[in-house]
Chains A and B, each alone.
Chain A
Amino acid sequence: MSKTRKTIILEGEEIEIYKGRSMAQETWRRLKRNKGAMIGIIFLVALMLATTVASFVYDYDKDIIAMSKDRFMPPSKDHILGTDNMGRDIFARVLYGAKYSLVISLGSTAIGLAVGLFLGALAGYYGGLIDNIVMRVTDIFYSIPYIMIAVVVVSMLGTSTMNLLLAMALGTFSNFARIGRASVMTVRDQEFIEAGRAIGLPTWKTIVKHVLPNCLSPIIVQTTLKVGSNIISASSLSFLGVGVTPPTPEWGAMLSDGRSYIRSSGWMCLFPGLAIMFTVLALNLLGDGLRDAMDPKLKR
């Protein structure tokens, strides 16, 4: 009997873990039935494999940025996606470039996620003045078009991949701050926080334990979709010349190159754009699938 009593809290934790696991299982079970989401996952896994293989097969200096005399070749047997204005193989560059797009969007989303959740939780937990300040700042970043934020940051810090990442994180964090704030606020005043305090648990510990499982599904869904939209943002910025610069084979930078030759060599514009579209499409399919799978209300 005394043993049971000692493990009450422990047991509570065990129940939590058990719950989490079964929720993940349930989500996966429903996700598996969603054709779109499965196509998305397969595409993303294949893309990651392909870009990993590509970075071994191709030599950056020789195959990716070096010039050759086969300039402006339309798609053919030798170059299935054709070559660009420097005679470089577009297929190799698109595959190799996936790495840049994925890393930049994943990185900026991760930074935005961490900063946003922290700020949002802070605002939701303390309320009052802190809440006001944080939310006003969030509002500012929310209402200014991300492109302007990014353009200002990049021109302030200089054009580099790291700065692009930072600039995009600034455009990303406000979404997550809202989620974090809302989830903390819904549990902040609930009775189990009071109960936790009664047995001597610090409030923030109870909050972390209860808030995280509660806001996990919106965060996962939002992250997936945000990674997708950040791929578009990154390529847009590169296209405007404030992101990754040529000759790096980032998709947006390739489009920026191709734009000058659109009259004669349309394929230079076509393929990097298709790569962006299909990757973002895969992420959106996965995000939509996750949202449907995690939202019990939508269960038909």
Chain B
Amino acid sequence: MEKVLEVKDLVVRYETDDGIVHAINGLSFSIDKERTLGLVGETGAGKTTAALSILNLVPDPPGVIAGGSIILDGKDVLSMGEKELERMRGNDVAMIFQDPMTALNPVIPVGQQIAESLEIHEGLSREEAMEKAKQMLEQVGISASRAYDYPHQLSGGMKQRVVIAIALACQPSLLIADEPTTALDVTIQAQVLSLMKGLIDNSHMSMLLITHDLGVVAEVCDDVAVMYAGRIVEIGSADDIFNHTLHPYTEGLFDSLPNLKARGEDLIPIKGLMPDPMHLPQGCSFHPRCPYATEACKTREPELKKAEGSHYVACIRYNESSFCLRRDKDAR
């Protein structure tokens, strides 16, 4: 299948006064046309940095993209010039940000903020762009008459709809959504999510959905990539990840999830905390928290290996023929 985006061996660091933060350490994944990939991981796994890298917008300084490639429609984003980047941003790839409260410019009317993309990329005049911006507002469920309102006059859910309208204005081929619903109320979350899904399906876009919410992933995504300490530990179709889990970390994520159907059941949290990205552990970054860790895990870095079809996993113990996660044992 045709690939919209291919990230290979991406390395990003933040060089701060206090030391070097290893945010992304050899990240590889790809997104197929008209598919939605969910990028899952805890806070601090490097998800947002990964998203910003795709637009080449990692704040510099202190951020440094130290290696790898990001191929978009056959071109490497990391070697694009400033003009090329500007043409790509918002037109080929658009982004929805985590916090709608701060993502909108407080001193510019929302309609104008949507129209700006159209002015830049489609060469529309101010009036034409504003007309189209009003249509976009209607599409995301906001009355066109609010186009002249300022962000502080809208509710949180409405602001996120505006952010979505900005992102979709120029019909990008890839949409990156960075925790688009985290800052919203639960009821609004569902609305926004179904709105996004509808719009994506209608316009044949691909999407990279970044989230820590496995419920959202199950709802929306075709494929899932699980990220830990700046690397992919497991990637595959939603069915692969949810029903044929291979990595201990993915298993840990599922075990931490309350199950509405089996309410009495104990939760099994992953012990410990995400490692400090300034001082990552040797070997597999997950080994200090992994219930299956062996001596080898402390020294050897696991590589992402093919398990079955499109299902890949990065775990040393997976190669052992007798190795089996607790989940699968229970199932047997």
Asked whether any CB of chain A lies closer than 8 Å to the CB of B16, the reply is: yes
Tell yes or no: A5 within 8 A of B by CB.
Answer: no
Cα distance A299–B16 when bound, in Å? 9
Which A residues, 1 to 48, have Cβ-Cβ distances below 8 Å to chain B?
33
Contact code string A88-129 (vs B, CB < 8 Å = 1, else 0): 000000000000000000000000000000000000000000
Report B-chain residues with C-beta under 8 Å of the C-beta of A299: 16-18
A33: chain B residues at CB < 8 Å are: 17
Which B69-97 residues have a C-beta within 8 angstroms of A?
A: none
Number of cross-chain contacts by CB at 8 Å: 8
Task: Determine whether B141 belongs to the interface, using a CB cutoff of 8 Å to chain A.
Answer: no
Question: Does chain B have a CB within 8 A of A300?
Answer: yes
CA distance A111 to B303 in the complex (A): 67
What DSSP secondary structure best describes chain A's contact surface?
A: loop
* Closest partner residue, chain B, to A33 (CB atom): B17
Size class of the contact patch on chain B: under 10
If A299-B18, A300-B62 are given as contacts, then 5 extra A-B residue pairs at C-beta distance below 8 Å, sorted by A number, are A33-B17, A299-B17, A300-B16, A300-B17, A300-B61
Cβ contacts A271-300/B at 8 Å (1 or 0 each) = 000000000000000000000000000011
- Residues of A with Cβ closer than 8 Å to B? 33, 299-300
Q: Produce 1/0 per residue, B3-20, CB < 8 A to A.
A: 000000000000011100
CA distance A33 to B17 in the complex (A): 10
Provide the bound-state CA to CA distance between A33 and B62, in Å: 18
Please give me the residue from chain A that is nearest to B61 by CB atom: A300
> Which B residues touch A300, using CB under 8 A?
16-17, 61-62
Taking the nearest CB of chain B, how far is it from the CB of A299, in angstroms? Answer: 7
Ranked nearest first, the 7 interchain pairs of A and B with the lowest CB-CB distance are A300-B17, A300-B16, A300-B62, A33-B17, A299-B17, A299-B18, A300-B61
Residues of A within 8 A of B61 (CB): 300
Q: Which residues of A contact B62 (CB under 8 A)?
A: 300
CA distance A55 to B17 in the complex (A): 43
A55 to B62: give the CA distance in the assembly, Å: 50
User: How far is A300 from B21 in the complex, measured between Cα atoms in Å?
Assistant: 12
Q: CA A299 – CA B19 in complex, angstroms?
A: 12
Q: In the complex, A33 Cα to B18 Cα: how many Å?
A: 11
Closest residue on chain A to residue B62 by CB atoms:
A300
**A256-B320 Cα distance, complex, nearest whole Å:** 89
Can you list 8 pairs linking A and B with CB atoms under 8 Å apart?
A33-B17, A299-B16, A299-B17, A299-B18, A300-B16, A300-B17, A300-B61, A300-B62
Measured in the bound complex, the distance between the Cα atoms of B20 and A300 in whole Å is 12
Query: What's the minimum C-beta distance from B58 to chain A, rounded to whole angstroms?
Result: 15
Query: B17 — nearest CB in chain A belongs to which residue?
Result: A300
Name the residue on B nearest A30 (C-beta): B17
Most A Cβ at <10 Å: residue of B17, B61, B62? B17
- How far is A33 from B16 in the complex, measured between Cα atoms in Å? 13
Residues of A within 8 A of B18 (CB): 299
Within the assembled complex, what's the spacing in Å between the Cα atoms of A299 and B62? Answer: 11
Task: Tell me the nearest residue of chain A to B18, going by C-beta.
Answer: A299
CB distance from B235 to the nearest CB of A (A): 34
Cα distance A299–B61 in the bound complex, in angstroms: 13
Q: Would you give the shortest CB distance from B276 to chain A, in whole angstroms?
A: 15
- Mask, B153-194, CB within 8 Å of A = 1, is 000000000000000000000000000000000000000000
Which residues of B (32-80) have their CB < 8 Å from a CB of A? 61-62
Q: Whose C-beta in chain A lies nearest to the C-beta of B14?
A: A300
Cα distance A299–B21 when bound, in Å? 14
Query: How many Å lie between the Cα of A300 and that of B18 in the bound state?
Result: 8
For window 126-163 of B, CB contacts with A under 8 Å fall at none
In the assembled complex, the Cα of A299 lies from the Cα of B18 at a distance in Å of: 9
Q: How far is the CA of A300 from the CA of B17 in the complex (A)?
A: 7
Closest-CB distance, B68 to chain A (whole angstroms): 24
CA distance in complex: A300, B62 (Å): 8
Residues of A within 8 A of B17 (CB): 33, 299-300
Least Cβ–Cβ distance between A30 and chain B, in angstroms: 8
> In the complex, how many angstroms separate the beta carbon of B172 from the nearest chain A beta carbon?
32
Tell me how far the C-beta of A123 lies from the nearest C-beta in chain B, rounded to whole angstroms. 28
Q: How many Å lie between the Cα of A93 and that of B2 in the bound state?
A: 83
Closest to B15 in A: A300
A300–B16 alpha-carbon span in the complex (Å): 6
* B277 CB to nearest A CB, Å: 15
Type the 1/0 row for B269-299, where 1 means its CB is closer than 8 Å to any CB of A.
Answer: 0000000000000000000000000000000
